[in-house]
Amino acid sequence: QVNAWLIARGRQPVRWEAAPAARNALF
């Protein structure tokens, strides 16, 4: 799942930064 997380983050870093809660939940 780490690879998917990095790919998703690379595709939409703004969305990840806007949703730190989701980022923490995934990571």
Q: Specify whether the CB–CB gap between 4 and 12 falls below 8 A.
A: no
Residue 3's pLDDT is what? 80
Residue 12's pLDDT is what? 61
Structure tokens at 9: 């983050």
Q: What domain range is 27 assigned to?
A: 1-27
Instruction: Enter the DSSP assignment of 27.
Output: -
Q: Render pLDDT for 1-27 as a digit per residue (tens, 0 to 9).
A: 678 777 776 666 555 556 677 767 765
Question: How many domains does the chain contain in total?
Answer: 1
Q: How many degrees, rounded to 5, is the angle at CA 23 between CA 21 and CA 26?
A: 110
Q: Specify whether the CB–CB gap between 26 and 5 falls below 8 A.
A: yes
- Phi and psi torsions of 22, nearest 5°: -65, -40
